Amino acid sequence: MSVAVIREGSLQDLETIVAFNAALAEESEGLAPDRSILREGVRALLEDSAKGRYYLAEVEGSVVGQLAVTFEWSDWRNGMFLWLQSVYILSDHRRQGVFTSLYRHVEKLASRPGYCGIRLYVHDENEAAKATYLRRGMVSSGYEVLETPDALKDDPVTS
């Protein structure tokens, strides 16, 4: 088991996060996002904590994993859901507790007053990721995520 130290991401982590997000898109969905758009999207989140935050996992001083947290207000619960996004662990650090460390960090955040839970979406065919999330105690919400057409998926240049 890797002992991961969790810290909030900063602008100094920009290129690492961009590289991890590009690898995530390729591995999980076979997509190659435009790096300049991806870089600006990561920068926007790093510069505006109202949009969300990145949390990075370090092992022996090296960043080996990440996740982003974004927010969704629930009027039914009078609380904020934390959405996990951009979850990526370097392949040689998977199944060593790195994701668990990141997840436990977010669980602590979500247990504070004003928060009501953690949510995420996972690609239908990503059975390994689903199994990981279920082992952490997450359950199916009973909802299916619908969206407007996605230019990244529908763009023949990037897909």
Q: Is residue 13 part of a domain?
A: yes
The pLDDT confidence band at residue 125, using thresholds 50, 70 and 90, is: confident
Q: Which residues pair with 79 in a beta bridge?
A: 74
- Judge residue 84's burial from the number of C-beta atoms within 10 Å of its C-beta, 0-12 exposed, 13-18 middle, 19 or more buried: buried
What is the overall mean pLDDT for the chain? 92
Mean pLDDT, rounded, for 103-132: 93
Cα–Cα distance, 113 to 86 (Å, whole number): 25
Whether 147 maps to a domain, the answer reads yes
User: What pLDDT shows up at residue 157?
Assistant: 54
Judge whether 10 lies within some domain: yes
- Is residue 68 assigned to a domain? yes
Cβ density class 136-149: b for 16+ within 10 Å, e for less: eebeeeeeeeeeee
What domain range is 96 assigned to?
5-154
DSSP for 51-74, please give it: T-EEEEEEETTEEEEEEEEEEEEE
d(C-alpha 101, C-alpha 24), whole Å: 19
Nearby residues of 159 by Cβ (< 8 Å), 6 or more positions away:
30, 31, 32, 152, 153
In a domain, 159, yes or no: no
Count of domains forming the chain? 1
Q: Is residue 91 part of a domain?
A: yes
Summarize pLDDT for 61-100 with one digit per residue, the tens: 999 999 999 999 999 999 999 999 999 999 999 999 999 9
The CATH number of residue 127's host domain is: 3.40.630.30
Does residue 44 form part of some domain? yes
- The pLDDT score that the predictor gives to residue 155 is 62
Residue 126 in any domain: the answer is yes
